[in-house]
Amino acid sequence: MTDLPRTLLITLTGHDRPGVTSRIFGTLAQAGVEVVDIEQIVLRQQLVLGVLVTAPRDWRRLRQDVQDTAAALGMHVEVTRGVGDNLPRAGGRSHVTIIGMPLRAGAFAAIAGRIADCGANIDRIERMARYPVTAIDLHVSGADPEQLRAVLATEAARQGVDIAVQPASLLRRGARLIVMDVDSTLVQGEVIEMLAAEAGCEAEVGRVTEAAMRGELDFEESLRARVALLAGLEESALDRVYDRIVLAPGARTLVRTLRRLGYRFALVSGGFSQITDRLAADLKVHYSRANELEVVDGRLTGRIVGPVVDRAGKAAALRDFAAEVGVEEESVVAIGDGANDLDMLSAAGLGIAYNAKPVVRDAADTAVNVPYLDTIMYLLGISREEVEAADAAEGYVTPAPPV
C-alpha cells in the first residue's frame, strides 16, 4: 500500500458554462500534477466534474487554490486525499439497457435493487434517449450476465419496462448482420390478411390461422391452406397491397443509421417474396428470403413455388446470410415476434422479441415492447443524439423533442 502514489479526488459541481473545465485544469497545471482519471457529466446545465490527480508535496496549497478557483466560478468543490487509482472493475461485466415509456423512479429503484441483490455494482450510467422513450444504459460489473438477465427479466415484467442484458465486449461495437422478420415486425399487420381482403376470403383465412394457433396445423400446412384460398386473385392485387403497407415506426431510421456503420441487413419472412423483395429494394436491405407465390397468366394459382420458409427455414436463412457476409452467428442480431421466429432468434447472438407473443418473449435474449423499431439501436450502444446528428448532417429533418 505504501508503494502506491498519494492522490487527490476533486469533485466540482455547479452551473455549467464554457471555460469551467479549462479554469480548473489551469489551476491543477500550476501544481504540476498528473491526471489519473476524469469523468464529467452535465444534467440540465448542472455540471458534475470528478478529477483524480497525483497529490503534490504541498497538497493543502493545491486544495486551497482549487477552492479559490471554484469560488470565483460560483461553484462548489470537494477535495479528498487518498491512495492509489480507482479500484478496478470486477469481472462479469455487462451492459444493462433499460427502456421505459415512461421510466418511473420506482422502476429504476427496483432494478438497481435487483442488481445489488446479485452482488453486482453499477459503475456508470448513460442516457441513450429521452423521447419518445427513455433509454438508459448501465455499465454493470460483478455478476454473471446470464444470471443478471434472468433476475432482471422478472423485474422488468413486474415494472412494465424493457431490459436488455448483454456481456460487455468489443462485439457490441462491431458491424453486425441484422436479420428481421417482416409481418408485424418490419411492417404493421399481416400481408396474407391484406391479400385475403383483396380476394374476399378474410373469414376463411382467419379460420385457418386460428386452427394453426390451436396447434391443429403446423406452419407449412396452414400457409399452404391459406394460399390455396387466394387462387384466382389477379397479380395486380400484390401492387395494391404493397401500396397499403405501413412500416413500423422507426424502421427507416434503424436501417439508415446502421447501414452508415457498416451493418448488413436481411429480411427473412414466412410471407411472400413479391412483397419482401420490394421492401428490401425500397429500404436498401442487402438480402431477402421468403415464399414465392406462383403466378400464371397474371393470376395467383394458390400454390407456393419451392420449399416453404418455415421456422427451421428462417434459422437456415440466417446462417446462410451470416456465412455470405462473413460473420459468426454471435455477431447476428435477429428480430421477430412469432413462434415461427424462435429458431432464428435462438441461432442469433442477440435474439430480440419485438412486441412479441409471451412464448417468444420468454425464449428470446431480450424483448422490446414499445412501438418503435429504432429503439433497438439503443441496445447496440447508439444514442438518439448520435442518430439525429448523423441525420442532420445528411439533411434529414428530425421532429423536435417535447419541451
Catalytic (active-site) positions: 181, 183
Pairing of strands 350-354, 332-336: parallel
The DSSP call for residue 87 is: P
Q: Which residues pair with 51 in a beta bridge?
A: 10, 38
The DSSP call for residue 2 is: T
Helix or strand run (H / E) with residue 264: strand 264-272
If we measure between CA atoms, which residue out of 94, 248, 92, 251 comes closest to residue 164? 94
In three-state form (DSSP H/G/I as H, E/B as E, the rest C), the secondary structure along 160-178 is CCEEEEEECCHHHHCCCEE
Residue with C-alpha cell 437456415? 316
Sequence-distant (6+) residues with CB within 8 A of 58 are none
Sequence-distant (6+) residues with CB within 8 A of 71 are none
Report d(CA 351, CA 349) in Å as an integer: 7
Report d(CA 92, CA 166) in Å as an integer: 11
